[in-house]
Amino acid sequence: MFNPQTLQQFNNTDTPFYYYDLNLLRQTLNICKQAAGRYNFKVHYALKANFNSAVLKEIQVAGFGADCVSGNEVKAAIANGFPAHEVVFAGVGKSDREINAALDADIFCFNVESVQELLVINDLAAAKNKAAKVAIRINPNVDAHTHRFITTGLDENKFGINIWQLDDVVFTLDNCPNLQFIGIHFHIGSQITELDVFKDLCAKVNELSDWFEQRNLPVKVLNVGGGLGVDYNAPHENPVADFEHYFKIFNEHLIVKQGQEVHFELGRALVAQSATLVSRVLYVKNGINKNFLVLDAGMTELIRPMLYQAYHKIENISKPQQAEQKIVNYDVVGPICESTDCFQENVQLPESHRGDLLAIYSAGAYGEVMASSYNLRDRVQSVYSLPEAELIKG
Ligand code: LLP
pLDDT digits (tens, 9 = 90+) for 174-215: 999 999 999 999 998 999 999 999 999 999 999 999 999 999
Residues 360-375, mean pLDDT to the nearest whole number:
98
SS3 category, 291 = strand
How far does residue 117's CA lie from ligand 1's centre (Å)? Answer: 21
pLDDT beyond 80 at 340: yes
Distance between CA atoms of residues 15 and 84, nearest Å: 37
pLDDT beyond 70 at 7: no
pLDDT beyond 80 at 17: yes
**Per-residue model confidence as pLDDT tens digits over 210-246:** 999 999 999 999 999 889 999 999 999 999 999 999 9
Q: Is 173 in the pocket of ligand 1 (CB under 6 A)?
A: no
Please, are residues 226 and 188 in contact by the beta-carbon 8 Å criterion?
A: yes
Nearest alpha carbon to residue 35 among 64, 61, 76, 71: 64
pLDDT beyond 70 at 168: yes
Confidence tier at 388 by pLDDT (50, 70, 90): confident
pLDDT at 26: 97
How far does residue 88's CA lie from ligand 1's centre (Å)? Answer: 15
Residues 157-181, mean pLDDT to the nearest whole number:
92
Identify residue 146 by its one-letter amino acid code.
Answer: T
Nearest alpha carbon to residue 267 among 157, 197, 189: 189
How far does residue 140's CA lie from ligand 1's centre (Å)? Answer: 16
pLDDT at 387: 77
Q: Is 113 in the pocket of ligand 1 (CB under 6 A)?
A: no
Q: Is 227 in the pocket of ligand 1 (CB under 6 A)?
A: yes
**Per-residue model confidence as pLDDT tens digits over 97-122:** 999 999 999 999 999 999 999 999 99
pLDDT at 101: 97
Distance between CA atoms of residues 271 and 268, nearest Å: 5
How far does residue 189's CA lie from ligand 1's centre (Å)? Answer: 7
Helix then strand then coil, in percent of the chain rounded to 5, is: 35, 25, 40
Residues 153-164, mean pLDDT to the nearest whole number:
77
What fold, for 22-271?
TIM Barrel (3.20.20)
What fold, for 4-17+273-393?
Lyase, Ornithine Decarboxylase; Chain A, domain 1 (2.40.37)
The pairing of beta strand 221-224 with beta strand 17-20? unpaired
Alpha helices in 235-340 (DSSP H): 243-253, 268-271, 304-308
Distance between CA atoms of residues 321 and 53, nearest Å: 35
pLDDT at 315: 96
Distance between CA atoms of residues 323 and 197, nearest Å: 43
Q: Is 270 in the pocket of ligand 1 (CB under 6 A)?
A: no
**Alpha carbon nearest to ligand 1 atom 4, residue:** 187
How far is the CA of 176 from the CAs of 161, 182, 210, in angstroms? 18, 14, 22
**Alpha carbon nearest to ligand 1 atom 19, residue:** 150
Sketch the domain layout of the chain as residue ranges: 4-17+273-393, 22-271
Q: Is 73 in the pocket of ligand 1 (CB under 6 A)?
A: no
pLDDT at 141: 74
Confidence tier at 152 by pLDDT (50, 70, 90): low
Helix axis angle for 22-37 and 53-61, nearest 10°, is: 30
Mean pLDDT over each residue of the chain, to the nearest integer: 93
